[in-house]
A and B are shown apart, each in its own frame.
Chain A
Amino acid sequence: MYALHMEWTKLRTVATTGWWLLGLVACTVGLAAFVSSTVDAVNCAPRCDFDLPRLSLSGVYIGQIAAVALGALAVTTEYDTAMVRTTLAAYPRRGAVLAAKLAVVTVVVLGCAALGVLGSLAVARGILPGNGFTRANGYPPLSLGDRATLRAYLGTVLYLGLIAILSAGVGATLRNTAATVSMVLGMLYVLPIVIPFLPTGAWRDALYRYSPMSAGLTVQATRGLNALPIGPWPGLGVLAGYAGAAVLAGALLFRLRDA
């Protein structure tokens, strides 16, 4: 419990934490508002098969950067200042220190992700009907009562939590803020940028399945699931696999290496 109290105090006493959390919520909601206002239910030919829950959750594409930063900073700031030695002198059990770091940053990110996602739902519900997405046009209002929609929203919250965990694990491995953030952003964004340019086929599907972001965000899909290379929950599972591997590597190195 001392370890949790220690890490919680550290996290809440630097101003950057608050700014990143605010950024996470604001970017998620802001982008949701922007995307919702650019779609049109009437003048949309030839592509009118809108996946509205997924559209309303587009904010994570930017908001996740805050989750990456928060996860990384929870670990790497200690190395930027050599403060890790003070930490380990105060609390020598390293496994507990890392577990406490992961716990507090994950809980905080999950909380703000829930806020951001609910905010996205609210703005989408407010904006979309004005663009023709009405019941009369075959678009009932977004509702968490719909199972697929609920899965998309809940899954997005979990996605952001896993991103923070992944980033913290990589941080414990690389022990440097810039290197960690670059590495995680590369893992997330490179494949999703490349994939659309590849010819459709087995290769492209395989890359999709192994891309932490493409696979992970499949959890947001509510339409055309059969056409996707991986299912929603298995997709999130791929991201969880990456996060777990990163944490395992980080924890092992944290225990073995000299501080």
Chain B
Amino acid sequence: MTTRAAGEPSLPTMEPNIQVHQLHKRYGRTVAVDGLTFTVRPGQVTGFVGPNGAGKSTTMRVILGLDRPDTGTATIGGRPYRSLRTPLREVGTLLDAAAVHPGRRARDHLLWMAHSNGLPRSRVDTVLEMVGLTDVARRRAGGFSLGMRQRLGIAGALLGDPPVLMFDEPVNGLDPEGIRWIRNLLRSLAGQGRAIFVSSHLMSELEDTADHLIVVGRGRLIADTSVRDMLAAASGGRVVLRTKDRAAAMTRLANAGATVAATGPDELVIGGLPADRVVNLLSQAGVPFSEVAGHRASLEQAYMDLTRDSVEFSGAVKESR
């Protein structure tokens, strides 16, 4: 008998992820990516943030095998992109919404993509429906607004129903309705267990969407952290207090060793004391207060602090060639 023995290990199932390891890439004398290492994991939205010129688009092109790294590796589920036979089934990408032939109908654009990976024609209609372009599917892409092109690009990314998705600045040029739509889409895709990788040069665009952040500046990794940790670090354990008797509260808390700053006529930000100690002290002293809350730093501020030193001031270095 030649049946397989029980307990024989089955083929290893590779986690659907993106792994970038020690990536270096320069164009002429410009260093675009300088030793990046990070992993994009399934089941969450990973934001890829950094100022313009930080190397985000370059990194994404290298992940897709479009540009060759000088050294280092980028893999999808452990395999280099160029070795994937039907990559649209493994990774969906939106790099540049303008990268469609203006004379081709939206549906035909998706059709050639489907044919390139042996995907059934029915998938084209499915993704058109998902992004809400069914009614304009027979119109030429040249007449599309930027928002419609973004939707078409996202439809292309979803075509192969891939476990990994990568979007370069997907909300660029979208109206508020479109931005909300993309946010909800990204959240729901991550909720289905997919690995979602989204770049932006604006932290505010990712604030409500991302679970995890890869922050880069000048091609280097600045932070690889969860959104929650980043906010906590930025808040520094400070407490916000509302009180009608600002002077009394300031005196009492300063005497207890806190650093106190007035941020409004009836608002104080207190550092160096936990919230419950603040409440106890003020209650004992009979100082009236109406609200005590953890100070919520904006992600934007935390990001600005992190990237202050790595912003490209000159116009000489462009993000996308």
Contacts and interface: CB of A to CB of B under 8 A. Distances in A.
Contacts of B111: 9, 13
Interface stretch (B102-110, B178-186, B192-200, B226-234): B102-110
Interface in B98-134: 98-105, 108-109, 111-113, 115-118
A93 B102 contact: no
B101 A81 contact: yes
Given A83-B99, A258-B67, A14 B104 contact: yes
B101 A92 contact: no
Interface stretch (B82-90, B272-280, B311-319): B82-90
11 contacts: A2-B86, A81-B98, A83-B99, A85-B64, A85-B95, A86-B99, A88-B65, A92-B83, A92-B87, A258-B61, A258-B66
A258 B67 CA distance: 4
A85 to B, nearest CB: 5
B218 to A, nearest CB: 20
Interface string A72-116: 000001000111011111111100000000000000000000000
Nearest to A9: B112
Nearest to B92: A89
B48 interface: no
Chain B interface size, under 10 / 10 to 19 / 20 to 34 / 35 or more: 35 or more
A83 B118 contact: no
A9 B103 CA distance: 13
A134 interface: no
B96 A91 contact: no
Interface in B118-172: 118, 156
A85 B115 contact: no
Contacts of B17: none
B66 A81 contact: no
A15 interface: yes
A3 B86 CA distance: 11
Interface string A201-239: 000000000000000000000000000000000000000
Nearest to A91: B116
B81 interface: yes
A85 B96 contact: yes
Given A83-B99, A92-B65, A13 B105 contact: yes
Given A2-B116, A89-B66, A92-B65, 13 more contacts: A2-B115, A2-B117, A6-B116, A9-B112, A81-B102, A82-B96, A82-B98, A83-B100, A85-B61, A90-B116, A258-B67, A259-B61, A259-B67
A52 to B, nearest CB: 41
A5 B116 contact: yes
Interface of B: 61, 64-68, 81-84, 86-88, 91, 93, 95-96, 98-105, 108-109, 111-113, 115-118, 156
Contacts of B109: 13
B118 A2 contact: yes
Nearest to B86: A2
Residue of B82, B83, B98, B115 most packed against chain A (CB within 10 A) = B115
A258 B28 CA distance: 13
Interface in A229-259: 258-259
Nearest to B64: A89
Nearest to A17: B103
B315 to A, nearest CB: 21
Nearest to B27: A258
A143 interface: no
Interface string A21-37: 00000000000000000
A14 B118 contact: no
Given A9-B111, A9-B112, A85-B61, A93 B98 contact: no
A75 to B, nearest CB: 13
Contact of B87 (A3, A85, A89): A89
B157 to A, nearest CB: 9
B249 to A, nearest CB: 59
B99 A9 contact: no
Contacts of B84: 92
Contact of B108 (A13, A89, A92): A13
Q: Which 7 A-B pairs have the closest CB atoms?
A: A13-B108, A6-B116, A9-B112, A258-B67, A5-B115, A90-B116, A82-B99
Contact of A92 (B81, B99, B105): B81
A79 to B, nearest CB: 10
Contacts of B105: 13
A16 B116 contact: no
A30 B67 CA distance: 47
A9 B87 contact: no
Nearest to A6: B116
A86 B65 contact: no
Of the listed residues A3, A8, A13, the one surrounded by the most CB atoms of chain B closer than 10 A to its CB is A13
Nearest to B105: A13
Contacts of B98: 81-82
Contacts of A2: 86, 115-118
A15 B142 CA distance: 13
B243 to A, nearest CB: 57
Nearest to A93: B82
Nearest to B83: A92
Among A2, A81, A89, residue most surrounded by chain B Cβ atoms (within 10 Å)? A89
A82 B64 CA distance: 14
Given A85-B66, A93-B82, A259-B67, A77 B101 contact: yes
